[in-house]
Chain A
Amino acid sequence: MLSEIPLSYFLVVSTLMFFIGIYGFLTRKNLITILMAVELILNSVNINFVAFNRYLFPNQLEGHFFSLFIIAVAAAEAAVAIAIIISVYRRYSNIDVERVDTMKY
Chain B
Amino acid sequence: MKYRRQLFSVKDPYCDNSDELFTKAVKENFSYCVSHCNDYRRICEKLGISSPADASELPVIPTLLFKKKQMLNTGCIPLIKATSSGTSGRKSTIAFDLGGLLCGLKMVMRISKLRSLLSPVPCHYIIMGYKPHKGNKTAVTKTAFGATLFTPALSRNYILTYKKDGYYPDFDRIIELIVRHSRSRFPTRFMGFPAYTYFLLRIMDERKIYLKMPKGSRIMLGGGWKQFYAEQTDKNSFYRLAEKVLGIKENDIIEFFGAVEHPILYCDCKEHHFHVPVYSRVIIRDVDTLKPLKNGKTGLVNLITPMVKATPVLSVMTDDLGILHDGSECSCGLETPFLEIVGRVAPEDIKTCAAGAEEIIKGLNV
Co-assembled chains A and B? no
